[in-house]
Structure 1
Amino acid sequence: MSSTNFPPLKNDLILRVCRGESVERVPIWIMRQAGRYLPEYKVISSEHSFFEVCRTPSLACEVTLQPVRRFDLDAAIIFSDILVIPQALGMQVEMIANEGPCFPQPLKTPEDLNTKIDRTRKASEELKYVYEAITLTRHTLDGQCPLIGFAGAPWTLMSYMIEGKASTTMSKAKRWLYSYENESHDLLTVLANFTIDHLVEQIAAGAQIVQLFESHCACLTPDLFNRFSLPYLCQIAKGVREKLVQRGIPSVPFILFAKDAHFGLHDLAKSGLFDVVSLDWTITPSTIRSLRNENSTLTLQGNLDPCALYSSKANLEKFVREMLEIFGTQQYIANLGHGIYPDMSVDNVQWFIDAMFSWLSPSFLMQNGSSNETKAKQIRVLDILKLDDLYSLSHPCLTCPETIAHLRQTKVMFLMRGLPGSGKSTIVKHLTKLYSKSVVVCSADNYFIDSEGNYNFNINRIGEAHRVCQQRTEEACKNNVLAVIVDNTNIRADECKPYFQKASNYGYIVIVVEPRTDWKRDANTLMNRNTHQVPMEVIEGRLRQYHPLIPFYFGLFLNQEQSNYILQEAYDYYQQALQTFYQLKKDLEYVSRDKNISVHNLLNRANMSVQTKVLHCTMKYIGKITDQSRKDYANYAANRLISHMLGKMCRAYVVGFVITPRTLGARLLFPDRHTWALWDQDDNEIPKKESSPQVDTRDNKKTRPYRRNNNNNNNPKNRSKITTTTDNLTINDDSNSTMVRSVADEDVLLVDNVSRLNTTEQLSFLHPTFGYLSRAHLTCGVAPDSSAAQTGHDIMEMIRKEGDSIQRNIPIPESNDERTVMKYFGNGQCIVYLKEPMPIETIFSGYFH
């Protein structure tokens, strides 16, 4: 199997943390996450010895993947052992049940270095099975998460090779350090060189991170550590990077775990050789803070006591909270302070992982009663407020790979907002780099920069400068530049309005980007940091004008390409429904005659009072600025999750279309739970009565037979699917998910964990949902004199109507073909269900007048 052409990585969170980049949450993996405590591993170990599993690539791959399948982890670590190096050098190592590793013939005297160690052996030949396992695992992981390779450090290996087994004192090995200093350095050098080759070969085979384990520092004095451990740790880090350069292999993050080396952590941090330093559970908060201060680029890992996993779920949540309060949420990888113990319960491991996720993201519980209960489904959001202290400073457009990939093929206007010195320029530099293939930066400041690059501000020309900036923005929009960055202060709403209008005219999604720096409203700091020497009185005056920019609504916005595709699909299915149901066409023709319009154009976006070029799903309606709307905005935006999600790509599915005499809407399903928390619409709102179009019902008692279109002649013609940033946009297929069901299932869409309905109730999967998120939709068209807001009300009316017809066992005319199931309810009302939901990608943002 090739060690190249690996599947693309879907979760690079831990890699970004290792590189010191901002991330949206803390990544987690666990030392010894694969192996002895897992029931599935025990099945394998009952049939194969430990080292047999290590030496068989297919078995090593399987065991590596077991914890990743079971738990939501951000990295896999190859199943192997640090003692494969002594084995490769010619020493015999056995794994004794309930005892651990054993060397039947350990090193006793320096003469054994010549008889028991074969210095001619090469890692690439002796440990080939490890590298084959890594390559196989990378392919089998299919990009789910990065794969970690590892090795034991020289002192740890040496102590095993001399002691012959685990020891609490390491007295035999330490005797060598005091009695045979030169020979000890000789052995350590041999081990260091072999370890370098071993790690390089793992990286060449596909390892995306490597970790070096120095596990026996507790028995060393600070002096012994500095002489017999630290130099070889540094030698390995340098040697690995040098050999990677020589072989033309890209470097990967390097993690060092020196257990019990509290006296050497500062030297390790200052060395700059390690991307990540992993800490054991004995390291104090003050030491952690000092490490941060000594090396601002260093990422830390750890350090929960493994025995803490024996505690209750409530205590685990407390321990996680305390750990995160110490480490923070940036440049940090959650882990234990050592490996999982063999007798650990998998439930407790799950509690630990759940505690991490429940602290950093909202928890959701879906509650559902049977259909004869009047109480609607409810969603309960837990622990949202916990985000306040741990809120990430990252912007999705800068840090989220899926969002970046989507925005790179979307027309987006980044509207920068903030005072000089607040950090806008840094963000603009990153945006320009990320979206470099098609980007234009428009700034009024550019007007004052002369040909030699000097900035000469003239307050009398500020109006002209903004006019030129607006002109350049419009030119960029006309030329369909994908990323248009408006880099002005944009403090007041009236300053932003011209750009909002241009974005709407040309089909751009607007993302307002404000620096999240601590000093963005600190006048003294802003005055010291801004490069244009803006005086204090000007900064203070602008700060007084710096109020929230309140959108008309928050929504999920499709880009123009996807909007056009969905609209065409909606119109095609509308035309198909007219052909399928004679009475539907007759009913709507009656309405269209009254409105003096063709029935084929009755439901169209051209009839909307406000026509935008991109579709959206309203998640929170704010409306015109009033005291009440300001309160609504403040309550919604105060949720840290909302501000964290602004500008983020959210997946959705179009699952069907609803046709009424007033509206044509597309119903949506959201597979990701974080999107659910954005929803703040009343699913049970009783609509204000809009004048309903009159439908001629004189001969409805003699409804003509409906037509079943079982051929493809009347289907919308086949077109290419929407362009998305992933090839397979599928809903999570786990045992707890009922998001999209097969035709045979009996439950409803959009619900995560629901209790099954009574067997006497005959519900198909096509039955629309009620309750939470049921009115989520895109307005694809309206009749003349109807508003887009009517679409949601019409959808809710259709949901109630179909539910009533099923409960009362009223037969409904139905058409079933390869792509759809259509149901006609009379009075110009029809539902079109898609047998294959259409995936779309949206951006969460605000719409501004």
Structure 2
Amino acid sequence: MTSAQASKDHPEGQKPPLLMDDHTVATVRESKILILLRGLPGSGKTELAKEVEQKYKDSARLFSADQYNIRPAVRSSTGGEYAKLDEDLNSCCERHEASIIIVDDTHHDRERLEELFDLANKFQFTVIVLEPKTPWRLDCSQLKDKNHWKLSLEELKNLRPTLEKDMLPLYFGWFLAKRDEDNLRKTAHEFLEQLGNLKAFKKHLQAFSCEDKHKMDLLKYFAKTPNILHCTTKFCDYGKAPGSEEYAQLEAVRKGYSKAFTLHISALFVTPRTAGAQVELTQEQLHVWPSDAEKEAMPKDVLPRGSRAHITLGCASDVQDVQAGIDLLEFVKLQQAGREGENMGELLGGKISYYDSGMWMLVLPRKKEVKTIFSGYYGKSGVTAPHLGGKKGLLSQCQIV
């Protein structure tokens, strides 16, 4: 959400879904969320921050820049004024003191924001950026009288330009609640372990360039896993990707931001490049699905809208996450042509089929539901799950809950 959008989006007093929608509130409570309040001094951030803190008081912690006496100002670089706040933030994360962390600051400085995005990645928090919807939030003449720092009109005008711009993420998507993420990683772990031990699979190892013809450790092969499991909707490249600004301004995207959605996983798949989960989207979810998502990946093909929807579970060492969606569309194309694959028996209670070129798909006996929050990923690209010991890759970040 952006300050420029905000005036068009919501009438005064409309609150974000994480305050008003029961399903969203329940999902946020099961998630790890870093909420960043953003806006000019006096625009209403603190009131909104306190409201969120009160809503999630049993699991939330609020950090306010004002309490650390950090005066809003244009800086050439972030200085030592944030040292104590960051020390307390890191301590809170390391000690697992809160699953919902709220930071109340102007957040006008990109360098400062990147430090917080790095923190979110390190501790695997989904980021939500919230801005107040007050009518005066960009009116410096009114803010001059409302901000407790007594900032001058000139100081406020110097801060405003960066807060007027749309802050677009690297990509938008549905980010899994922690419990469901851990559960899906466990299911994926079992799938890869059982598939790797399947006799039929061992007969087709040449597609994976495996030297040992009798054994393959798929968990090790797909050790590169996303930091937070998610289903990407639109890759924006912070606004540089074609169509990203138009996508961010869609009514369904604006209204859906910070809202919970339940995704349905119908199948798991493996290719020599990626392991992933196929997602079946509802009509409501298709409203935030880009109309050109499939065409973007395969310009020459006509594919059903939403058929690219997936959750990347793992990639081979030299493969990017985006490949999982392309691999899924290869399955869809084969199925459209009437090829259902060769039945190779059962895994996890579902039918496992082999297509060709190392392509395997497991149709689950029952669709798996996962709770998600629709938001953006604002950090650096290529961030993968840290190896924290225990099982490799897919289970490296699981917690007992």
Q: Name the TM tier (shorter chain).
A: 0.7 to 0.9
User: 1:492 offset after TM fit, Å?
Assistant: 2.8
Compared CA separation, residues 836 and 417, structure 1 to 2 (3 A): same
With over 3 angstroms needed to count, the CA separation of the structure-2 counterparts of 1:570 and 1:818, relative to structure 1, is closer
- Aligned-residue CA RMSD in angstroms? 3.0
1:30-179 aligned at under 5 Å gives the runs none
Q: For each residue in 1:303-357, what CA deviation from the matched residue of structure 2 results, as whole angstroms up to 9, or x when unmatched?
A: xxxxxxxxxxxxxxxxxxxxxxxxxxxxxxxxxxxxxxxxxxxxxxxxxxxxxxx
Q: Does 1:666 align with 2:296?
A: no
Contact 2:173/2:376 (<8 A) preserved:
yes
1:467 aligns with 2:83: yes
**Kept in 2: contact 1:580–1:815 (CA 8 A):** no
SS of structure 2 residue aligned to 1:554: strand
Distance across 2 between alignment mates of 1:684 and 1:575: 34
Q: Distance in 2 between matches of 1:783 and 1:773?
A: 25
For residue 780 of structure 1, what is the aligned residue in structure 2?
313
Select which of 566, 581, 590 maps to 2:184.
Answer: 566
1:652 partner SS: strand
Tell me which protein shows more strand as a share of its residues. 2
Summarize the Cα distance change of 1:792–1:457 in structure 2 as closer, same or farther, 3 Å threshold: closer
For 2:157 and 2:137, how far apart are their aligned partners in 1?
12
1:401 aligns with 2:22: yes
Tell whether 2:373 aligns with 1:846: no
Q: CA deviation at 1:491?
A: 1.3
SS at match of 1:420: coil
Seen in structure 2, the aligned counterparts of structure 1 residues 563 and 425 have a Cα distance that, compared at 3 Å, is same
Q: Does the C-alpha gap of structure 1 residues 662 and 441 become closer, same or farther in structure 2, counting only changes over 3 Å?
A: same
Query: For residues 113 and 341 of structure 2, what CA distance do their matches in structure 1 show?
Result: 54
**Residue from 167, 171, 184 that aligns with 1:553:** 171
* CA positional deviation for 1:674: 2.6
Q: 2:152 aligns with which of 535, 543, 550?
A: 535
Aligned residues of 2:43 and 2:136 also touching (Cα < 8 A): yes
Q: Kindly provide the CA deviation profile for residues 191-222 of structure 1, in whole angstroms up to 9, marking residues without a partner as x.
A: xxxxxxxxxxxxxxxxxxxxxxxxxxxxxxxx
Question: Structure 1: which 5+ runs fail to align?
Answer: 1-386, 450-455, 689-768
Q: Secondary structure at the match of 2:232?
A: strand
Match of 2:390 in 1: none
Q: How big is the shift at 1:770?
A: 4.8
Output the CA distance in 2 between the equivalents of 1:821 and 1:427. 49
By how many angstroms is 1:653 displaced?
Answer: 1.3
Residue 515 of structure 1, aligned match among 117, 123, 132: 132
Match of 2:353 among 813, 823, 828: 823
Alpha-carbon distance in 1 for matches of 2:314, 2:12: 39
Q: How far apart are residue 591 of structure 1 and its match?
A: 2.1
Question: What amino acid does structure 2 have at the position aligned with 1:662?
Answer: R
What's 2:54 paired with? 433
Asked if 2 retains the 8 angstrom alpha-carbon contact of 1:602 and 1:782, the reply is no
SS in 1 for 2:370: strand
Residue aligned with 1:577, SS: helix
Name the CA shift for 1:545/1:506 in 2 (closer, same or farther; >3 Å).
same
Cα distance in 1 for residues equivalent to 2:236 and 2:375: 13
Q: Report whether the alignment pairs 1:525 with 2:135.
A: no
The alignment status of 1:656 with 2:267, answered yes or no, reads yes
- 820 and 418 in structure 1: CA distance in 2 versus 1, 3 angstrom threshold: same
Percent identity over paired residues: 26
Secondary structure in 1 aligned to 2:54?
Answer: helix
Could you tell me how far apart the structure 1 residues matched to 2:310 and 2:132 are? 32
Closer/same/farther in 2, CA of residues 459 and 773 from structure 1, 3 Å limit:
closer
Report the number of matched residues.
365
The whole-number CA distance in structure 1 between the counterparts of 2:143 and 2:319 is 49
Aligned pairs for 1:12-23 within 5 A: none
Letter matched to residue 193 of structure 2: Q
Which residue matches 2:393?
A: none
State the one-letter code of the partner of 1:567. R
- 1:422 is matched by which residue type in structure 2? S
Alignment partner, residue 645 of structure 1: 256
Amino acid at match of 1:411: K
The answer on 1:477 being equivalent to 2:93 is yes
The Cα of 1:652 is off from its aligned counterpart by 0.8
* Matched residue type, 2:155: V
- What TM-score does the superposition give when structure 2 sets the normalisation length? 0.83
Name the CA distance, whole Å, in 1 between partners of 2:377 and 2:155.
Answer: 30
Structure number with larger C-alpha Rg: 1
Deviation at 1:811, TM superposition (A): 7.1
CA distances 1:38-77 after superposition (whole Å, capped 9, x unpaired): xxxxxxxxxxxxxxxxxxxxxxxxxxxxxxxxxxxxxxxx
C-alpha deviations, 1:158-205, integer Å up to 9, x for none? xxxxxxxxxxxxxxxxxxxxxxxxxxxxxxxxxxxxxxxxxxxxxxxx
Amino acid at match of 2:327: D
Q: What is the CA deviation profile of residues 708-740 of structure 1, one whole-angstrom value per residue up to 9, with x for unaligned ones?
A: xxxxxxxxxxxxxxxxxxxxxxxxxxxxxxxxx
Whether 1:620 and 2:234 are equivalent positions in the alignment is yes
**Residue matched to 1:504:** 121
Rate the CA distance shift 1:606–1:653 in 2: closer, same or farther, 3 A: same
1 or 2 for the larger relative contact order (CA 8 Å, sep ≥6)? 2
Which amino acid in 2 is paired with 1:623? Answer: D
Q: Quick check: 1:683–1:774 contact (8 Å CA) kept in 2?
A: yes
SS at match of 1:532: coil
Q: Is the 8 A contact 1:595 1:784 kept in 2?
A: no
* 8 Å contact from structure 1 (residues 650, 842) kept in 2: yes
Secondary structure, aligned partner of 1:813: strand
1:834 to 2:367 alignment: no
Given the alignment, which residue of 21, 27, 38 partners 1:417?
A: 38
Cα gap change, 1:448/1:677 in structure 2, threshold over 3 Å: closer, same or farther? same
Q: What residue number does 2:396 align with?
A: none
> How far off its partner does 1:502 sit?
0.7
Partners of 2:197 and 2:312 lie apart in 1 by 22
Task: Supply the distance in 2 between the matched residues of 1:556 and 1:811 (Cα, whole angstroms).
Answer: 30
Provide the secondary structure at the position in 2 that maps to 1:410: coil
Q: Secondary structure at the match of 1:545?
A: helix
User: Which residue does the alignment assign to 1:795?
Assistant: 328
What's the counterpart of residue 218 of structure 1?
Answer: none
CA distance in 2, matches of 1:846, 1:542: 24
Paired with 2:192 and 2:74, the residues of 1 have a C-alpha distance of 57
1:358-389: per-residue Cα shift (whole Å, max 9, x none)? xxxxxxxxxxxxxxxxxxxxxxxxxxxxx968
Contact in 1 for aligned 2:30/2:178 (Cα 8 Å): no
TM alignment of 1:268-279, pairs within 5 A: none
Residues in 1 aligned to 2:148 and 2:280: alpha-carbon distance in whole angstroms: 47
CA distance in 2, matches of 1:621, 1:446: 36
Cα distance in 2, alignment partners of residues 569 and 535 from structure 1: 57
Closer, same or farther: CA 679–473 of 1 in aligned 2, 3 Å = same
Q: CA–CA distance in 1 between the matches of 2:284 and 2:95?
A: 35
SS in 2 for 1:428: helix
Call closer, same or farther: CA 1:569–1:540 in 2, change over 3 Å.
same
Aligned to 2:383: none
Q: Is structure 2 residue 293 aligned with structure 1 residue 675?
A: no
Deviations 1:471-523 (A, max 9, x none): 22222211221111111100132221111111111111110001112111111
Gaps of 5+ in 2: 1-7, 380-401
1:620-671 deviations in Å (ceiling 9; x for gaps): 1112553xx3x62321122233112111101111111011111111011234
CA 1:389/1:565 → structure 2, altered by over 3 Å: closer, same or farther?
closer
Q: Deviations over 1:541-600 (max 9, x none)?
A: 001222221200001001333222212211211232333452x2232366253699x722
Q: TM-score, normalised by structure 1?
A: 0.40
Question: Residues 743-766 of structure 1, C-alpha deviation per residue, up to 9 Å, x if partnerless?
Answer: xxxxxxxxxxxxxxxxxxxxxxxx
C-alpha change, 1:580 and 1:447, in structure 2 (3 Å) is same
